[in-house]
Amino acid sequence: MVVSPNSQRAPRSAAIPSIRDVAAAAGVSYQTVSRVLNDSPRVRSETRTAVLGAIERLGFRPSRAARALSLGRARGITVVTSNTVLYGYAATLQGIEEAARAEGMAMGIRVVESAEPAEVKQTVDYVSDASAGGVVVIAFDPMGTAVLEALPEHVPAVAAAEPAAPDRGRVAIALDERRAAADATEHLLALGHRTVHHVATPSEGRSSGRQAGWRDALERAGVEVPEVLSCGWDIGSAYAAGQWLSTQARTTAILCGNDDIAQGVRRALYDAGKDVPGDVSIVGFDDIPGSAYWTPALTTVRMDFAGLGQACYRAAVAELTGQAQPVPVLVPPSLVLRESTAPPPSA
Amino acid sequence: MVVSPNSQRAPRSAAIPSIRDVAAAAGVSYQTVSRVLNDSPRVRSETRTAVLGAIERLGFRPSRAARALSLGRARGITVVTSNTVLYGYAATLQGIEEAARAEGMAMGIRVVESAEPAEVKQTVDYVSDASAGGVVVIAFDPMGTAVLEALPEHVPAVAAAEPAAPDRGRVAIALDERRAAADATEHLLALGHRTVHHVATPSEGRSSGRQAGWRDALERAGVEVPEVLSCGWDIGSAYAAGQWLSTQARTTAILCGNDDIAQGVRRALYDAGKDVPGDVSIVGFDDIPGSAYWTPALTTVRMDFAGLGQACYRAAVAELTGQAQPVPVLVPPSLVLRESTAPPPSA
DNA sequence: CGCCTGAGTGTGAACGGTCACATGGCCAAG
DNA sequence: CTTGGCCATGTGACCGTTCACACTCAGGCG
């Protein structure tokens, strides 16, 4: 009639071993095991060996959840991004992931789809939780920026991309998009084009690096700065932008906000009977894997997203552990010349 | 000289509020707060209101780490995948992420780069941890399959893709790739092609759905089954496969393992002076966003990766919470006819 | 010879939740 | 009027780890 007096929550037998089981097996206290796990110098090497043996024998793995609770913050990284599929975002994500995995760190992802206060707040709450660990905010766009600004100071976070307003001493790491865009624009001008049109991604503000670099180059050359065409992330809207540009007889060179946009623009020009690069030259941005195999192969700017991700990971861990900031070394963007650019028809 | 007797770890003042702070503010016990958080019916609505008010006032958010520790498993999802960038993987990942976020669930990612025992073990250890929560293994390839097989029974996990050997009652959800490949192959045969060549992704085994469907269709039509060309994930190797195929005069139709491969093959044919679809027809697989804008626009098979991800998420949560399995409804793959297929030149 | 120091180890408490069980009040049935 | 049971709530223990501090035992020095 009486219930078993020892009815624990889990069957104590086949349970996952804890630090105390290891301690018992090694004949030491749980604290000593903890010290071994954290490489404390205060352990006799003999004792250490015994503990490590017990760990091996029992197949013990420290609980990330318990650590996070005790430490106040998880030893891991959460990435906040507005997108996981677009190349720039995905490649940065991959860079972070590889760096994290190499060090045995956990990684989580949280997407912010809009910059609306409610969603930004949810995201901030999410990463404010102890189990989020260090935070990397991919702030290529308004969504990321909004999160960055709303983040409480006590959350260890870094930004990928330059902050619009230098943000309360938050570490920010960025690729030199301004220089990259200027290089691409100058390449087109050097080929003899009168000016260069620009089709921008939704992530670009007027002060964004890509747009600023393009404008810089045009102004330095003293040529007309055409109005920027904005389009969405979907290639369909890039196609529409391309259609419009193909009606403008004076358009001979286009700098596209990314390679996907270049693809849509190129097809629109094709459908309008314009040859690339014979009639119009096109430059993309990002160097996505397929762009070398298009017809024509795309001239574009290669960006070191993987390096950016890696640098962000390191900075986030430094922020999390309170250690000194190593200076990140990023590969500068480079213009990759292929088949989609040539002198304008008249030249 | 004496150290402050109450020097806690964190400054107790500005600390993040806990369930006990809320309890004090609402004038109830911490257990009652816990009950409110878990929608227990055993709380007077009046009391509930008071607690919710206190939660609001203090800006309290339950700690995921503490929950995971107490419950034994985190309320969240970890996705195991061999890749995060390739379209099929990334799109599935996105489907999972959206479903998880909609329910306020945490999401983590763990990549397995190889099927080597050491790496598989590390991955298994990683997701065995309580804080991993439910697990979705994207088992499109040998890496995923290896992890799935090595996963201890007590880890709540489901697979995306059919298990090679039905795996100890693990839930597995798959897209009907076999049917999809058969449809694509039949489309080419119906156009008059003698047979259809196949360039396979690294993920395909002989028994994979794509390869089996292709073979099915050829055998049903009673035509020759050419040797499968295997290539890597990089488009360069697809280009090489395309070069080889362009030397075979009898090749008039190619089913590519995915759209990226189709891109490489198409460029190789172009460089060899072969017209698509005039000389050779090409069908891709996946319907990546750009494929509608290529020249020629790619005929391909659209796959509902987002739906797959969503279904996997639901199944993983069901596994995690021990609830009944809802039957997942997946959109069947569909052949999207565009410009890259036509009757063979002789016909 | 006693005291101090420090290396090596152990004990208690805390992190923020949840579960099991105890308790008190109220109403209906005996 | 008692008793039994249910509803609403409270108390203690526990999840697995780390931190703060206490303790023991040697060795060096005054």
Instruction: Give the CA count within 13 Å in the CB-facing half-sphere of B167.
Output: 24
Beta strands A229-230 and A281-283 are unpaired
List pLDDT tens digits, range A93-152: 999 999 999 999 999 999 999 999 999 999 999 999 999 999 999 999 999 999 999 999
Class of domain A74-175+305-331: alpha beta
The pLDDT of residue A3: 31
Q: Is A85 helix (H, G, I), strand (E, B) or coil?
A: coil
Tell me: pLDDT of A218 over 90: yes
The pLDDT of residue B164: 72
Share of chain A above pLDDT 90, in %: 85
Candidates A67, A82, A109, A300, partner chain B, best to mutate (most B CBs within 10 A): A109
Which residues have CB under 8 Å from B14's CB, separation 6+? none
List pLDDT tens digits, range A81-90: 999 999 999 9
Nearest-10 crossing angle of helices A19-26, A30-37: 110
Tell me: pLDDT of A48 over 60: yes
The pLDDT of residue A322: 87
Inter-chain residue contact A68 with B131, CB threshold 8 Å: yes
Q: Which nucleotide is nearest to B69 (CA to C1')?
A: D15
**Structural tokens at position A264:** 């849509």
Q: How close does chain B come to A221, measured CA to CA in Å?
A: 34
Judge whether residue A244 contacts strand D, using its CB and a 7 Å cut-off: no
Q: Which residue of A has its CA nearest to B71?
A: A9
Candidates B13, B109, B234, partner chain A, best to mutate (most A CBs within 10 A): B109
Inter-chain residue contact B9 with A68, CB threshold 8 Å: no
Q: How close does chain B come to A44, measured CA to CA in Å?
A: 28
Mean of pLDDT over chain A:
92
- A260 contacts on B by Cβ (under 8 Å): 289-290
Return the CA Rg of chain B.
27
Break chain B into its structural domains and give their ranges.
10-70, 74-175+305-331, 177-302
One of 1.20.950.20, 3.10.129.10, 3.40.50.620, 1.10.260.40 is the CATH number of B10-70, namely 1.10.260.40
- A147 contacts on B by Cβ (under 8 Å): none
Q: Which nucleotide is nearest to A51 (CA to C1')?
A: C9
The pLDDT of residue A14: 60
The angle formed by the CA atoms of residues A9, A14 and A18, to the nearest 5 degrees, is: 75
Find residues 29-48 of chain B whose CB sits inside 8 Å of chain A.
Answer: none
Query: What is the Cα–Cα distance from B105 to A131, expressed in whole angstroms?
Result: 13
Inter-chain residue contact B293 with A235, CB threshold 8 Å: yes
B94 touches chain A (CB under 8 A): yes
DSSP B110: E
Inter-chain residue contact B235 with A292, CB threshold 8 Å: yes
Inter-chain residue contact B93 with A74, CB threshold 8 Å: no
List pLDDT tens digits, range A189-207: 999 999 999 999 988 877 7
A140 touches chain B (CB under 8 A): no
Q: Which residue of B has its CA nearest to A83?
A: B94
Q: How far in angstroms lies nucleotide C17's C1' from the CA of residue A11?
A: 21
B64 touches chain A (CB under 8 A): yes
Nucleotides on chain C that have an atom closer than 7 A to a protein CB are 7-12, 14-21
Q: How far in angstroms lies nucleotide D24's C1' from the CA of residue A27?
A: 17
Q: Which residue of B has its CA nearest to A234?
A: B289
Q: Which residue of B has its CA nearest to A98?
A: B111
B285 touches chain A (CB under 8 A): no
Q: Which residues of chain B have pLDDT under 70?
A: 1-14, 166-167, 347
Please give the torsion angle defined by the CA atoms of residues A39, A42, A45 and A49, in that order, rounded to the nearest 10 degrees.
-50
pLDDT band at A328 (very low <50, low <70, confident <90, very high): confident
Q: For CA atoms A63, A65, A67, A70, give the dihedral sign.
A: negative
For chain B, how far is it from start to end, CA to CA, in angstroms? Answer: 99
Q: How far in angstroms lies nucleotide C3's C1' from the CA of residue A36?
A: 32
Given a contact cutoff of 8 angstroms between Cβ atoms, the answer to whether B230 and B202 are in contact is: yes
DSSP B299: B
pLDDT band at A323 (very low <50, low <70, confident <90, very high): confident
Q: Which nucleotide is nearest to B30 (CA to C1')?
A: D10
Inter-chain residue contact B235 with A68, CB threshold 8 Å: no
Class of domain B177-302: alpha beta
The whole-number average pLDDT for the span A233-256 is 96
Judge whether residue A69 contacts strand D, using its CB and a 7 Å cut-off: yes
Which residues have CB under 8 Å from B171's CB, separation 6+? B158, B159, B315, B319, B325
Find residues 170-229 of chain B whose CB sits inside 8 Å of chain A.
Answer: none
Q: What is the DSSP string of A95-161?
A: HHHHHHHHTT-EEEEEE-----HHHHHHHHHHHHSGGG-EEEEE-SSHHHHHHHHHS-TTS-EEEES
Nucleotides on chain D that have an atom closer than 7 A to a protein CB are 7-12, 14-21
Given a contact cutoff of 8 angstroms between Cβ atoms, the answer to whether A340 and A299 are in contact is: yes
Query: What is the Cα–Cα distance from B182 to B180, expressed in whole angstroms?
Result: 5
The pLDDT of residue B14: 60
Domains B74-175+305-331 and B177-302 fall in the same CATH topology:
yes
